Structure 1
Amino acid sequence: MTAMLLATTLLLPHGLSYDGAWLWPVQTRSVEREFAPPTDPYGPGHRGVDLPGRAGETVVAVATGTVTFAGDVAGVATVTVDHGVERSTYQPVRATVSAGDAVQAGQPIGALLAGHPSCRTTCLNLGRLRGDDYLDPAALLGADDVRLISPDGPPPSPPSWEPEGIVNLLGGPVTSPFGMRRHPVTGEVKLHDGVDLGAACGTPVPALLAGTVTFSAHRGAYGEQVELAHGDGRVTSYSHLSSREVRAGDRVEAGHVIGRVGTTGMSTGCHLHLMLLIDGTPVDPLSAGGAG
Structure 2
Amino acid sequence: MDYFVDVYNLYIKFDSISKFYITLVIGLCAFLYKTFLSMHLEEQKQKESIIQKKVEILSQFYASIVIYMNSTQEQAEQEKLIEKIGECYPYLDYRTKMKIEMYYANRSIYTLNSLKGIIKQILNKYETIGENQLEFEKLFSIFYRLLKPVLPLIFILIVIIVGVSNFIIFHDAKSNWEKYCIVSDYASILFSLTILISLINLVLQKWSEFRNPGLRFWIGTFVVIVCPYVILLIDSNYLYLAFVIQILCIIILLVLDFKVRESR
Question: Could you say whether these structures have the same fold, taking a TM-score greater than 0.5 normalized by the shorter chain as the test?
Answer: no
> Normalising to structure 2: TM-score of the pair?
0.28
Which one has the largest radius of gyration?
A: 2
Query: Hey, which of these two has a bigger chunk of strand by percent?
Result: 1
Query: Hey, which of these two has a bigger chunk of helix by percent?
Result: 2
> Normalising to structure 1: TM-score of the pair?
0.26
